[in-house]
Amino acid sequence: MAKNTGRSESESGTNREGASRRRLAFATQDPASVAEARNAAQAQLKSFEQAVRLFHAQKFAEARELFVTATGGPNREMAHNAELHVRMCDRRLEKPAVELKTAEEHYNYGVAMINVRNLAEALQHLEAALKLEPQADHIYYALALSKGLAGDLDGAFENLKRAIELEPRNRIAARQDADFALFADQPQIQQLLFPEKTGSA
């Protein structure tokens, strides 16, 4: 004799019908869509994690790019978090206004820009320094270096010539300067550095 489960025949039919619908819905999901969604979620997570590492390393420009990528992923909570980090990166990347007043301040800032090869800004501040102190040999020297590195060999020649006229020891300094060595083999620069060899003494 079969056991009575307490369920009516209609209830059992309803349950079977519901299970059948669930199986049908699962079976009709597009495998390609499922895989695409999974890949998008993984890519978003990878971008976000890499961005966080860069952010903590204070590489804000690189981190910002990856956070922007993560904002387009399917995980909306992560996307919102990435948007917040984009704004944080923007705040840290805002360039503070540089207020320099003296020739020495402009010179020191210009030299710092040479060291990171921001030559356009270096020239701007070195020229400002020269206006404030037009007889400063070290400013002419730095101008010669920045112009030479920027490919302006005529400008490098004129400024180095003036730096040597004001302080002859700048000739020896330039000979021994590793940065000057990058363009010291050019004929016009050779004339200034080694006049005894070129017959221009």
Domain that holds residue 71: 30-93
Q: Decide if pLDDT at 20 tops 70.
A: no
In a domain, 5, yes or no: no
Residues 188 and 123 in one domain: yes
Residues 71 and 123 in one domain: no
Residues 75 and 113 in one domain: no
pLDDT-derived band at 26 (thresholds 50, 70, 90) equals: very low
pLDDT of 143 reads 97
Whether the Cβ atoms of residue 129 and residue 139 lie closer than 8 Å to each other? yes
Q: Decide if pLDDT at 33 tops 90.
A: no
Q: Which of 10-24, 92-106, 123-137 has the lowest mean pLDDT?
A: 10-24
In a domain, 13, yes or no: no
Residues 124 and 192 in one domain: yes
Residue-averaged pLDDT of the chain: 84
Cβ neighbourhood burial of 200 (10 Å; 0-12, 13-18, 19+): exposed
Residues 133 and 186 in one domain: yes
Among the candidates 46, 71, 93, a domain finishes at 93
pLDDT of 116 reads 87
